[in-house]
A and B are shown apart, each in its own frame.
Chain A
Amino acid sequence: MGERKHSEPALDDIFLALSHPTRRRMLELLQDHPSCVTDLAGSFDLSLNVVSKHLKSLERAGLLARTREGRVHVLRSEPQALAPATAWLSRHLAMWQGALNSLESFIIRSKSQTPPP
């Protein structure tokens, strides 16, 4: 539970970026092969405008890097930028698992203290 408030917007950006199937597919494609915007757009039945909106969402979250090679923009996925989201998930997973374990102990304890009527 050590997050600081100012780290939250980045986390929100990451989860929002990942929350759309098209953007997840984009990341998967770019993970295997860095590519230019037009080639990437060719894998989707979407207008360039919509593709560009998805890319901006991924860039805002830091999950995608854009480099210029000559006149072409090359897109690469940046999987290490997922770290805050992975940390959030594992912390919450640990918290809820711990909570259910202690609920179990509590139930067992209260059973042994209160005999059934």
Chain B
Amino acid sequence: MPTPTVSLTVSKILPCRPAEAFRAWTVPELFQQWFTPGPGIQVTAEVDLRKGGRYRLTFRMPEDKPSVVAAGEFLVINAPHYLEYTWSWTWGAEPGQPNHTVVKVEFRELAEERTEVVLTHEGFNDPEDCDGHTKGWTSILDHMAAALGSGPASG
């Protein structure tokens, strides 16, 4: 895997075992019941859950706006603890963007039948790598804050 360079992370503690959270994430009939990126948006999921298999999420937008599709390929499946897949947005009939991003979902087992879900969305790797080495990855949000003048480093 190339070194990831741009990422965002969210997490949540769920009142269930990892297996249950993993199922809710990977079984289309379950996934469709909870996953929505916004009010009034309905999602249809097609999932081929195996390494190299593809998935496709169709978001039906409210008020007859054109549908939006997120699609990609499973890179790592380690049930019920870990999932990794590519993620590309497609607008209408346009093909997916060449610079796909990667979603990683970790299901960490906690005590008392709880699970922490940690989701990382990352991507936009540097294809040029001009000086031949990329020194690890850093949260782009920090750099943006700094560049926008609101960071702690410079004002």
Contact = CB atoms under 8 A, between A and B. Distances in A.
B131 A103 contact: no
A77 B141 CA distance: 17
Contact of B124 (A4, A19, A97, A100): A19
Interface string B113-147: 00001010101111111110011001011011011
B94 interface: yes
What is the size category of the interface that chain B forms with chain A? 35 or more
Nearest to A98: B37
B78 interface: no
Nearest to B118: A100
Contacts of B36: 98-99, 102
Contacts, number: 141
A82 B151 CA distance: 14
A37 to B, nearest CB: 15
Given A1-B37, A18-B140, A57 B128 contact: yes
A85 interface: yes
B109 to A, nearest CB: 14
Given A24-B147, A28-B146, 17 more contacts: A16-B124, A18-B6, A18-B143, A20-B128, A22-B130, A31-B154, A53-B128, A54-B130, A57-B128, A86-B148, A92-B8, A96-B119, A101-B12, A103-B24, A106-B24, A107-B21, A107-B24
Q: Nearest 4 A-B pairs (CB), nearest first? A: A15-B124, A106-B34, A19-B5, A100-B12
Interface of A: 1, 3-5, 8, 12, 15-16, 18-22, 24, 27-28, 31-32, 46, 50, 53-54, 57, 77, 79, 82, 85-86, 89, 92-93, 95-108, 110-111
Interface of B: 5-6, 8, 10-12, 14-16, 20-21, 24-25, 30, 33-38, 41, 59, 61, 68, 89, 91-92, 94, 97-99, 117, 119, 121, 123-131, 134-135, 138, 140-141, 143-144, 146-149, 153-154
